[in-house]
């Protein structure tokens, strides 16, 4: 079956057709294409595919038949303590980028915080991720990661707008 399109056949409800779901930027757009109203199963599928393609284009969603699994994380760049191999002599903090250039293949690269500095390593990792997205999808998929709000400490209140509540990792 085509991506984002599901076949529904419910004899007890006399429902036959194709259900299309287009998910992008945490919003879901859906529509049902009935065999009867569209003039048959094949015509319903053609209309469903046309609507899906039109919605993806309208929303700016990149068109691909590859399955993309959504995660809770907003970025594939993470800060990690890495020690590679069983006899690794060096351990250190790095920004790590994980990407999948083709199905069933996962690649990973890292940028040393010790070597490039906190901001330099993070910037290089984000630039590398954007470059890989351009290669794989033709444009960047995610925006730069949003700054998360830190948990409130005892001295922070909602009523004080002068407090900077952005999370800075130490």
What Å distances lie between residue 118 and 96, 114, 128, 132, CA to CA? 12, 8, 16, 21
Tell me what pLDDT residue 144 has.
Answer: 45
Tell me what pLDDT residue 167 has.
Answer: 43
3-class DSSP state of 77: strand
Q: What percent of the chain has pLDDT over 90?
A: 19
Instruction: Convert the pLDDT of each residue in 127-157 to its tens digit.
Output: 888 888 888 777 776 554 444 444 444 444 4
Tell me what pLDDT residue 89 has.
Answer: 57
């Amino acid at each position: 079956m085509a991506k984002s399109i599901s076949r529904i056949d419910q004899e007890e409800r006399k429902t036959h057709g194709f259900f299309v779901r287009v998910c992008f930027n945490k919003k879901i757009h859906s529509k049902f294409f009935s065999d009867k109203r569209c003039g048959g199963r094949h015509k319903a599928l053609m209309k469903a595919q046309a609507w899906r393609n039109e919605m993806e284009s309208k929303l700016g969603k990149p068109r691909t038949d590859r399955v993309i699994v959504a995660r809770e994380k907003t970025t594939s760049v993470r800060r990690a303590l890495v020690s590679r191999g069983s006899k690794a002599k060096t351990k250190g903090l790095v920004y790590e980028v994980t990407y999948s250039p083709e199905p069933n293949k996962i690649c990973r690269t890292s940028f040393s915080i010790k070597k490039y500095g906190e901001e330099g390593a993070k910037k290089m990792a984000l630039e590398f991720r954007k470059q890989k997205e351009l290669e794989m999808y033709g444009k960047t998929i995610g925006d730069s990661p949003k700054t998360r709000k830190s948990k409130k400490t005892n001295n922070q209140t909602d009523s004080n707008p002068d407090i900077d509540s952005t999370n800075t990792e130490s």
